[in-house]
Amino acid sequence: MIKWNNKVPQKSISRLYNQTVSGIQDDELIDEVGYALYARCESVISATYAFEKKCMFCINCSAEIPLVNNVFSCSCGFNATWDEFKKSFRGKQLYAANALPVFLDYVKKYPKAKTYGEKLICIDILIHSFHIRMSGSKSLKNKDPKKETVKLNRPTGVNIIEGSLTDVILFLDKLSEIDEYSREKKQWRSIVENANGGTILKNRPNVNQGTQASINFSCILKIFVQIYQSYFAEKFSSH
């Protein structure tokens, strides 16, 4: 039986951001959230590789195991048929699609983050990024998510945070309600509203809660695009 790592509860992430904006740097809490996201990212990456490349990372020992005769079989004792994999995968939001670079980047960088701020930046970028509709394009050169010509799909948060697409979009929107970043919040809203599922925000007032962590969306968007550009530049230069 394949058991994937669960999505991360919204209440854990909300607690982290609320404490941060209150000036509380809880190292245990940020690693609790950070590594829960890390584990979920590992499941997303493994499930995506298994689906696309017919090679998955063993859920017990992390060894790479190819699909042979319709069976994933690891020397540690783990076994799963292709049909069992598809059943475990279906409806779980485990497919990374074109957002794979975001999940890979987080798994690479979060364990190396030393300070509280560095860890929070990793989490910010992960949960506020998007799937991008590549439309056959080989890179994101000159593609800016602020431009209407760039088609954004659903937020990456839906793969890793508990809740439906609508639930996650509303949660991320609420997470960023703070006066200090009202200009950037407006920019974020305009981007999300054009993404898959984002129309839910068009008639929602931006009410300041006064308790949510401030988020520098301009910085996140810039890094988000850099992650994609770097990944696809490396991927296609090797072909």
Please indicate, yes or no, if residue 65 is contained in any of the structural domains: yes
Q: Is residue 5 part of a domain?
A: no
Q: How far apart are the two ends of the chain, measured CA to CA in Å?
A: 36
Of all helices (H) and strands (E), which one includes residue 7?
A: none
Inside any domain, residue 3: no
Q: What is the pLDDT of residue 103?
A: 94
1 within domain boundaries: no
The model's pTM is: 0.81
Q: How far, in Å, are 1, 46, 55, 165 from residue 224 at the CA level?
A: 35, 21, 27, 20
pLDDT score, position 50 = 92
Check residue 195 and give its pLDDT.
Answer: 74
Strand ranges, E, within the chain: 55-57, 64-68, 71-73, 79-81, 130-132, 152-155
As averages over each run of 10 residues, the pLDDT of the chain (239 residues) reads 92 90 89 97 94 90 93 93 92 90 93 92 88 50 48 85 92 68 62 74 57 53 66 56
Give a yes or no: residue 144 inside a domain: yes
Q: Number of structural domains, the chain?
A: 1
Which domain does 192 fall in, by range? 10-237
What is the Rg, in whole angstroms, of the alpha carbon atoms belonging to the chain?
18
pLDDT given at position 147: 53
Residue 149 lies in a domain: yes
**How far, in Å, CA of 232 to CA of 11, rounded?**
34
Residue 210: inside a domain: yes
Residue 135 lies in a domain: yes
